[in-house]
Amino acid sequence: MSAKAAVLVPCFNEEVNIPSVVATLKKHVPEMDIIIINDCSTDHTAAVAAAAGVKTVLDLPCNLGIGGAVQTGLKYAHRNGYELAIKFDGDGQHKAENIAKLLAPIEANEADVVIGSRFCAKHDGFKSTFFRRLGIRLFFLVNSALIRQMITDNTSGFRAYNRRALSFLAKRYPSFDYPEPEEVILLGKNQFRIKEVFTEMNPRLGGVSSISPMKSVYYMIKVMFAICMVAMRPPVKQEKR
């Protein structure tokens, strides 16, 4: 791979998981730059990332939530001339060995954005909680109808972007706490080519997820409202490729 590529890792209180995440990225994609976006963690995430050998740690002065943290990484990648970007969670659930699978459709000019999906193939690996699976099913039905393309894993945070998508999202990435389903609508409405590839997930390496069952219900309602708002907006006028 000759294109300049970055792995964007948004983190909030992931000091336990960061050493393993960085190690697996260095093993499987040593040619890529690792960008840690520390969303004002209250633990030692930033220091641990630096000690693990990460050269670029973006320390946010206040907590912006996942949407703001991801957009910070996208803006940094865009401004620093990266042609490709991978969004990779800091909790250790994504598998770095699957990054090549995500990049393949982009490098073949078949997609602008590639989503690592847990559901586009049958498997016996790790599965999320019942409430999360319920939300995922709901977003599958709604988003597929709105953009007329079947997207099986709208909540996946494991995604690859080409330069065009990177430039677009650096300016317009959703600001909600859980932006992934809204991002799918935004991209679909603006004629970006989206493709899914099958990827399995690991259980969380350590720490506790911030999404409880009650928060999952609140999340579904909040994101559905955001999706409806995006769906009603006209497409953004863009420069020709």
| CATH code for the domain in which residue 22 is found | 3.90.550.10
Model-level pTM? 0.86
User: Does residue 241 lie within any of the structural domains?
Assistant: no
Q: What is the C-alpha separation between 231 and 14, in angstroms, rounded?
A: 34
The least confident of 38-42, 67-71, 211-215 is 211-215
Q: What are the tens digits of pLDDT across the range 158-176? A: 999 999 999 999 999 998 6
Report the pLDDT value the prediction gives residue 145, as an integer from 0 to 100.
Answer: 75
Report the pLDDT value the prediction gives residue 146, as an integer from 0 to 100.
Answer: 78
User: Does residue 237 lie within any of the structural domains?
Assistant: no
User: Does residue 238 lie within any of the structural domains?
Assistant: no
Q: Region 24-34: what's the mean pLDDT? A: 98
User: Does residue 98 lie within any of the structural domains?
Assistant: yes
Cross-strand partners of 34: 7
Report the pLDDT value the prediction gives residue 58, as an integer from 0 to 100.
Answer: 98
For residues 12 and 39, is the Cβ–Cβ distance under 8 A? Answer: yes
More confident residue, 15 or 218: 15
The least confident of 13-17, 84-88, 180-184 is 180-184
Q: What is the C-alpha separation between 117 and 229, in angstroms, rounded?
A: 25
Q: What are the tens digits of pLDDT across the range 122-152? A: 655 555 656 666 777 777 777 777 788 889 9
CA atoms within 13 A on the CB side of 57: 23
What ranges make up the beta strands (E) of the chain? 5-11, 33-38, 56-59, 84-87, 113-117, 159-161, 194-198
Q: Region 107-133: what's the mean pLDDT? A: 79
- Which positions ≥6 away from 221 have C-beta within 8 Å? none
For residues 45 and 38, is the Cβ–Cβ distance under 8 A? Answer: yes
Q: Containing domain of residue 113, as a range?
A: 5-232
Asked whether residue 20 carries a pLDDT value surpassing 70, the answer given is: yes
SS3 call for 207: coil
- Please report the sign of the dihedral spanned by the C-alpha atoms of residue 158, residue 184, residue 139, residue 110: negative
Our count of domains for the chain comes to 1
User: Does residue 151 lie within any of the structural domains?
Assistant: yes
102 pLDDT band (50/70/90 cuts)?
very high
